Amino acid sequence: MTVEMWGIDFSSAPSAKKPIVVARGVLVGAVLRLQRLDPLTKLSDFETLLAAPGPWLGAFDFPFGLPRAFVRAQGLGDTAQAVISGLQARCPTRMAFRALVDTWGNTQPAGLRLLHRMTDSAMPGLSSTSPLQTRYVPVGFMYYEGFSRLLAAGVNVPALHAGDAARTALEGYPGLLAYELVGRRSYKNDDSAERLLARKDILEALEQGRTRLKLRLKLTPAQAGALVADISGDRLDAVLCMAQAAWASQQPRWGQPKQVDPVEGWITTA
């Protein structure tokens, strides 16, 4: 049976203007064919997605864990399940989570208030945003809303939570693959010619297989046009995550490192 590859650009507060974007594809040999892009405008739609029967393997663009030092300070436990369950019991809303982070952060030295996980800085030349960040790019809210739903759906999360092996979720990071292809050139949230060209360059590299993932992305002209035209970059990020999932599908243990902190998690391809 063919395993469907998913890439998910997540939003903690999806809407028609800023939906969760799901890229779906199939991998045949070294060719990854994009089948379609689905916008999800409600978190209940995301829950329905997770309940879809497998086999599917998805890379989700939100953190699957919190920094261990913060978890230890809050006494949240030693497993991913314990941490998210304890956190949501203590913080019934994401704004309560922000307040908890802010209160703790105000007791920390400057520069140590938004800690990173080991995996966040395991990428040469690049570091992902702290999972304690609840402003600007609110990845903390994405963890709060996203990871809890993965576990509630009974999804398998390698090294973090044993679930339905036919529905497997990995933490993706599209910025890592984009950085490999265009460096620090920005490709999102602007209609400038420079960012349009960056999106084109990313797609061209993916289609030609010029990445360390050694996969070639197959698109229709209409799909390619839609990805380049999307100023937000959300559709492209979903496709980048889908490519990371496809790579992981060909690796032993989904490509996870030898050692994984069961509280902090890991980023695929990092």
Q: What is the mean pLDDT of residues 239-267?
A: 96
Could you tell me what percent of the chain has a pLDDT over 70? 100
Q: In this predicted structure, what is the pLDDT of residue 217?
A: 98
Is the residue at 34 inside a domain?
A: yes
Of 31-35, 45-49, 102-106, least confident by mean pLDDT is 102-106
Q: Is the pLDDT of residue 125 over 90?
A: no
Query: Which residues span the domain enclosing 36?
Result: 4-63+169-249
Is the residue at 53 inside a domain?
A: yes
Is the residue at 243 inside a domain?
A: yes
Is the residue at 183 inside a domain?
A: yes
Could you tell me what percent of the chain has a pLDDT over 90? 93
Q: Structure tokens of 82? A: 């314990």
Q: Which residue has the tokens 């903690």?
A: 12
Is the residue at 224 inside a domain?
A: yes
Residues 48 and 18: their CA atoms lie apart, in Å, by 18
- Give how many domains the chain has, as a whole number: 1
pLDDT digits (tens, 9 = 90+) for 159-177: 999 999 999 999 999 999 9
Q: What are the DSSP calls for 170-198, one per residue? A: EE--HHHHHHHHHTT---SS---HHHHHH
Q: Measured on CA atoms in the order 37, 43, 49, 50, is the torsion positive or negative?
A: positive
Q: Is the pLDDT of residue 121 over 90?
A: no
Q: In this predicted structure, what is the pLDDT of residue 111?
A: 82
Is the residue at 198 inside a domain?
A: yes
Confidence of residue 112 (pLDDT cuts 50, 70, 90): confident
pLDDT digits (tens, 9 = 90+) for 206-241: 999 999 999 999 999 999 999 999 999 999 999 999
Is the residue at 103 inside a domain?
A: no
Q: What is the mean pLDDT of residues 186-212?
A: 95
> Which neighbouring-strand residues pair with 263?
none
Q: In this predicted structure, what is the pLDDT of residue 122?
A: 85
Q: Which residue has the tokens 């982070």?
A: 101
pLDDT digits (tens, 9 = 90+) for 54-91: 999 999 999 999 999 999 999 999 999 999 999 999 99
* Cβ within 8 Å of residue 195, ≥6 positions away: 185, 186, 187, 188, 189, 231
Q: Is the pLDDT of residue 190 over 90?
A: no
Is the residue at 268 inside a domain?
A: no
